[in-house]
Amino acid sequence: MSGYTSGPSLAGFTAWLYGGGIPGLNTTVLPNTSAYIAYAYNVAADIAGSDMGLVSPTAWNLMTYNLAADNLITFAPDQTGQTFFATLRDTYNIGKFAPGVVASTSDEGTSTSLLNPDFMKNFTLSNLGNLKTPYGRIYLGYAQRMGTIWGLT
């Protein structure tokens, strides 16, 4: 895990990604020269700003890389003959609109209710999307530990 204390980088994200960041991802599924890797990383780096590195450089790396993985799963296309990302998007229900989290549901035989913490009331559509993948949830967890979900008011 060398390089986790100096701040995130595209090279670090690429190494993390192919070193097990997303299990099963390899250069056949997504070439390591794909522009989608840089795009996913750059968007994540903009969102998980460098202020996070002042608190914990290691957490800043992990939150950036996990948000970038969430981005990659959300929009990277599959290579010809591959269904890796389509399968992940189907597994995580990416692309299916969810305007919030379940607060209550019931029928004659069953009932379910979940507590919606106050912080979730201010989630953006992007934050709700982050909840769908384990990588997005890890990012949100680090962002909360840092004291806030950046971008929320």
23-39 pLDDT per residue, tens: 999 999 999 999 999 99
Q: What is the pTM of this model?
A: 0.76
For residue 4, is it within any domain?
no
- The CA-atom distances, in angstroms, between 46 and each of 42, 50, 79, 94, 135 are 6, 8, 27, 22, 17
E strand spans, 87-138: 104-106, 111-113
Of the two residues 125 and 67, the one the predictor is more confident about is 67
For residue 130, is it within any domain?
yes
Section 43-56 average pLDDT: 78
Task: Name the domain count of the chain.
Answer: 1
For residue 56, is it within any domain?
yes
Instruction: Kindly report the length of the chain.
Output: 153
For residue 104, is it within any domain?
yes
Percent of the chain with pLDDT over 70: 67
Which pLDDT band, with edges at 50, 70 and 90, does 133 fall under? confident
Give the residue numbers spanning the domain of 120.
10-145
E strand spans, 2-98: none
